[in-house]
Amino acid sequence: MGVFAIRLPDVGEGIAEAELVEWHVKVGDVVREDDVLAAVMTDKAAVEVPSSVDGKVLALGGEIGDMIAIGAVLIRIEVDGEGNESGNVEAPVSVPVEEKPAVVEAVAEPAPKPAAKPAVAPVAAAPVKRAAGTKPLASPSVRARAREEGVDLRQVPGSGAAGRISHGDLDNWIASGGIQQGTVVRGQNTGVEEVRVIGMRRKIAEKMAISKRQIPHITIVEEVEMSALEDLRAALNAKHKGERAKLTLLPFLMRAIVEAVREQPELNARYDDEAGVIHRHGGVHVGIATQTPNGLNVPVVKHAEAGSLWDNAETVARLAQEARDGTIKRDELSGGTITITSLGPLGAIATTPIINHPEVAIVGVNKMQIRPVWDGQQFQPRKMMNISCSFDHRVIDGWDAAVFVQKLKTLLETPAMLFVEG
């Protein structure tokens, strides 16, 4: 029998290490070639590491959340014949990054834990609600304890005969903080769950922290009358139903952004903080913030300026689905020059979007709803929506930000202008 060490492969992104986010095996498992052993997280995506041999798992090279260096031992497997390592198969596995022994699962069964003592004493029967002004029934010991605890027994429901209050009733009342709803006394929940921040959640946290720490945000919220655009969208979808991709609001908003940054190229840019250089891009690469089971991803529609409404609608739908399925390509999650974020029907009246660093602007879409709008003579019901746009104030002045927002408002309220060349 030999020992075969599988090392963390170079995932091709020029990185030196990756975060271990999931084990698919444990010590003692029998694996076959191509079975997935673990998942690691790079700066852009999760990568699965398969086995290159058949054998039995001897030891794991790290714990969930550890950073593993490229080329370091990830797992050791006992194989038939000669492995790629010499020495005793029981030798401990070292964790390459933190230089500490690997944690190997114990073989012995853990000692049984003593049964937890219930936080609230059980009640023999449902508490009886007394009529107002009725004297509470309780033993002298219960009354003495109530006086010591400062509890008014007139407020405590009793579960005994004729509503008699027991020590258990008093325990429940004290544990609940004196909260009673109907005939149910609700106890306090003092449990605390620890959730380690790893993988995609940690990447999101780090990126948001960088954005808020390094970028001085300015946010402008503007109200947009959406009736004309919604009518146009419904008509186009009806005309091409089943023949072309369904048009949502996003392709129209992308087209409006393309037209707006044509006049203000400084908004379609990325800011290199360290070099102090602003990179203004000719192509408009629109990131679409997308919620997935693994956290927030931002797929990027490259060269939105070259696509039609339907082209961009199809691309957005495809990228969103692939992001949720976890099949999206890494290069489709990077390279954005401006981002759109939307909570859809869950959106609020206004939001303050955080810029997707190192971009300099983000457009937030809020909830659309019918509101009364004054037309000069009377209030009329109109489909209204607020847009919340944030800007990097190091790069974008307030005036330029306001001009951009007003341009978007004009284009969305008069959608025919989206199709006018020149």
Which amino acids are annotated catalytic? 393, 397
Identify whether 118 is preceded by a cis peptide bond (ω within 30 of 0): no
E-assigned strands of 90-242? 94-95, 100-101, 180-181, 184-185, 217-225
Give the whole-angstrom CA distance, residue 185 versus residue 196: 33
Query: 226 with 383: CB under 8 angstroms?
Result: yes
Q: Following DSSP, what letter does each residue of 195-237 receive, concatenated?
A: ----HHHHHHHHHHHHHHHH--EEEEEEEEE-HHHHHHHHHHH
First to last CA, the chain: 74
Bridge partner residues of 174 (DSSP): none
Q: Residue 281: which of 268, 295, 291 has the closest Cα?
A: 268
φ, ψ for residue 296, nearest 5 deg: -85, 125
Distances (CA, A) of 255 to 182, 216, 356: 56, 27, 20
